[in-house]
Structure 1
Amino acid sequence: MIVVEPLSRHPRHVGFVAQLVWREFWADVDDGMTEAELAEAFGGRAEPGRVLASLIALDGDVPLGCVHLIDNDDRSLTELYPWMAAMVVVPGRRGQGIGSMLVRALMREAKAMGFEQLWFGTDGPGFYERLGAVKHLAKGRDFWIMRLPLIEGSG
């Protein structure tokens, strides 16, 4: 059975999550974050207020994916807060509903923290639109800043 839990409950998987996120989002970025920096951030050693929550999907003790709630993921849009970031599922398990589980769990977590919406950037808006997100701003070709309402009727 797949469960989604705070990464802080599974510190042995911080390195795996950092590697997964680095490979998916940072490996081809010059001057991007390193695996070590990601591991520090996801392991609870980010600057205060930077990483608000990190969730991991597990099948038993096998990590399948992760998602994070952070202060901001776009320096040009500092007024947008907070951000869903680095949602990724291991390649062999994509298309099985794990990403949706992760997003919904983060939505519950953010709502419990008192947030009314999440912001994020993606080149795959259709997946998130099925979960209630709306396009907010085009940022280049095929990349969108999106808003995910957490309160009924605020779409």
Structure 2
Amino acid sequence: MENTLHVDDGVVVNKLHGAAERGDVVVFKGWDGADTIKRVIAVGGDTVKCCDAQRRITVNGVPLDERDYLHPDDFPAKDEFEKVVPPGRLWVMGDHRSASQDSRDHEEHGGEGTIAEDEVTGRAVAVFWPLSRIAVLSTPDTFTQAFAENR
């Protein structure tokens, strides 16, 4: 999740978060059973695709401007994919895509790729440690602007 989160960052997690939305950073039981933290890119019923002509991830045909959170030395995705997210499930990706084991990786290895909404244990809302990294984790503008009509 670099650069949004660094290894050993202390994160405040809201366990009364309600339904996960596009752009949320969520904690869930990962495919290996360990606590995992990733960004929700698409929700049930969405079509997530890589990539458009400018090499951007699209959700329902809307390109995402991921510059605010994508690792500066990275790219939206290495390989092309297209997935319709089943109802009740989430497509999650790390912010450091080339180093992230996320929905893309899980699907490539024969899994569903998505996670169930009820597997989310909470939404990360802030970094509290180390003190030099204190920050609020808000929904990136690309999600709030592009999908405002669906909120």
TM-score of the aligned structures, taking structure 2 as reference length? 0.25
Higher-helix-fraction structure: 1
